[in-house]
Chains A and B, each alone.
Chain A
Amino acid sequence: MPHISLSNLMVAYGNQKVLQNITVDIPNNQITAIIGPSGCGKTTLLKTLNRLVDLYDEIRVEGEVRIDGADIYDPKADLLNLRKKVGFLSQKPYPLPMSIHDNITFGPRIHRMNRKELLDQIQELEKHIPIDSLCPNGRQEETRHSKTHEMAYLVEYYLRLAGLWEEVRERLHAPAAQLSIGQQQRLALARALAVEPEVILADEPTSALDPISAQLIEKQFKTLKNHYTIVVVTHILRQARRIADYVIFLYLGELVEHGPAEQFFSSPRDERTRAYISGEIS
């Protein structure tokens, strides 16, 4: 069963409909790219998946968004749990106004996870992605913290998972705002991973980054997709080609075409998709 399944989704800001008739299943443990020209509703679609659209005053959402079978717009839905399960990376990273270390521990602290839960969480994750595999050359002695200091271990583990550990290991208690934008984006990734989501939503996560940092993020996503379901908004076609397993193409608020990446790029069915891929419309 797919984690996320949309049917007949309509989203409007006031009277202005920005998305309509969206029906699609998002495959598990793959990278799904949402592409389309500027203003077509990519960000809006992404934010409806974890109800961040609730922040806008005049927002209206109709239709169904089911995650693990439950309609997330049901008035009785557990919003906090939903957002814990569905992590989010914004276009411009926003470091929480605290240290690098505290940015990572913020989620677990908010959710009041105890020692045992923290250890269980890491152990479970380590079955899929062992910490050794995150160390360059697999050097075990690089792991400074033992599992008895669960918070320290957790911080190290998630920073490694986001590919940031080596750059910040010496200054974990410095304010996170001091990091470069690229580092901040990886910090945001680590922070989101630390609440152990099942889905990661990312809104043009590399658009504020230089090519090298962007590559790092892409690489990280490819590592992570075995364990998480990833949905990425991007306006860079080449990026979609590089990382996507599944593609959703939006045009003027409509779902024009969706399908496995290979098929989508090699034999698009819709005229508009063809035009967009070949660069005739943008």
Chain B
Amino acid sequence: MHWRQIKDRLSAKSMILAVAFANSLVLLVGLGLLIKSIPILEKKSLFHLLLSSNWHPLRGEFGFYPFIVGTLEVTAIAMILAVPVCLLSAIYLSEYAHHRLREIARITVDIMAAIPSVIYGLWGVIVVVPFVCLLGKWLNTPTTGYSLLAGGIILAIMASPIIISVSLEVLRTVPIQAREAALALGTTRWEAIKHVVLRNAFHGILSAVILGFARAFGETIAVLMIVGNVPKVPTSVFDPAYPLPALLANNYGEMMSIPLYNSALLLSALILLLVVSAFNMTAHLTLMRVEKR
């Protein structure tokens, strides 16, 4: 066999190995978490763990309900704030803006995406928390500012770059003929966008939103710094909350002498992993469908 052919085979084989290794990591992580969570699953039903609000590790009570609710609510607030603004910006950048402005915005958005979340967290403590505190005073709802709302605002800002940049790319893949077809019939720009461009880009934009959602759902540090971290089901957006990622980051490694504590935390990690993976898979499957068309 020629040396060139050998090299070709070797490189193909090593690439397969690399891919297999990278992919099996996800499985290994999931498997590790599952094994570690077995002890608590043997003692308590999963159903009970997910729906109980009692979080008293010392008494052996591990109810994840407040954490799950906290995660969902903070994510929901973030999405409600982020999605409309991001979609409008993406539409503006793709359909109305001069192409130079579009390029500048692309760069800014990329920078936003690259800022470490600690910095967002600090910025949240300095700016968002006092702002929410003031807002609470103004609305006669005393609050420290460390709250669901503050967490949601920070998450919205952090999820924005991915939502904007993916939906912008999706909108740019809609061929110019689509716009021409509508405009040539005498539609306004907005009518062309609404009836033709957005219909075409719908699945892609949906997956942009899901990707943003996944980012917000799993984000840890920034939220942990401003959401208050009180293990109780919040009753208003000015109440503090305690999302799952914050629970993990705050407690893992400490108080490990408490029986089952370790196992309970790893179970919550597994839940988080599964939910975020599910979001990501949905997003990628919808994006794949877009590309096939």
Q: Interface on A for B, CB 8 Å cutoff?
A: 50, 52, 55, 57, 80-81, 83-84, 87-88, 90, 92, 94-98, 106-107, 110-111, 188, 191-192, 195
Contacts and interface: CB of A to CB of B under 8 A. Distances in A.
Given A55-B176, A81-B186, 12 more contacts: A52-B183, A55-B180, A55-B183, A80-B186, A80-B188, A83-B183, A88-B180, A90-B180, A94-B180, A97-B196, A188-B181, A195-B185
Given A96-B196, A97-B196, A110 B187 contact: yes
A236 to B, nearest CB: 21
B101 to A, nearest CB: 10
A87 B184 CA distance: 6
B195 A96 contact: yes
Nearest to A177: B293
Contacts of A98: 195, 199
A94 B177 contact: yes
A201 to B, nearest CB: 8
A49 to B, nearest CB: 11
Nearest to B100: A57
B100 to A, nearest CB: 9
A195 B181 CA distance: 13
Contact of B181 (A80, A94, A110): A94
Given A94-B178, A96-B195, A110-B191, A84 B186 contact: yes
Contacts of B186: 80-81, 83-84, 107, 110-111, 195
Contacts of B195: 96, 98, 106, 110
A96 B175 CA distance: 12
A97 B203 CA distance: 13
Contact of A57 (B99, B181, B183): B99
Interface of B: 98-99, 175-188, 191, 195-196, 199-200
16 contacts: A50-B184, A55-B176, A55-B183, A57-B99, A87-B185, A90-B180, A90-B184, A94-B178, A96-B182, A97-B200, A106-B185, A110-B187, A110-B191, A188-B181, A191-B185, A192-B184
A146 B179 CA distance: 34
Contacts of A95: 181
A110 B185 contact: yes
A188 B195 CA distance: 16
A52 B180 contact: yes
Contacts of B99: 57
Contacts of B178: 94
Contacts of B98: 57
Nearest to A201: B184
3 closest residue pairs by CB, A with B = A84-B186, A88-B184, A94-B181
A31 to B, nearest CB: 19
A80 B98 CA distance: 21
A84 B185 contact: yes
Contacts of B176: 55
A106 B195 CA distance: 9
Contacts of A92: 177
A94 B176 CA distance: 10
A188 B184 CA distance: 11
Contacts of B177: 90, 92, 94
Contacts of A195: 185-186
A50 to B, nearest CB: 6
A58 B99 CA distance: 9
B180 to A, nearest CB: 6
B195 to A, nearest CB: 7
A94 B185 contact: no
A81 B178 CA distance: 20
B68 to A, nearest CB: 39
A94 B175 contact: yes
Contacts of A52: 180, 183-184
B103 to A, nearest CB: 11
B185 A97 contact: no
Q: Which of A94, A95, A106 has its CB near the most chain B CB atoms (within 10 A)? A: A94
Nearest to A87: B184
A250 B185 CA distance: 27
Contacts of A88: 180, 184
A112 B177 CA distance: 24
Contacts of A50: 184
A192 B180 CA distance: 12
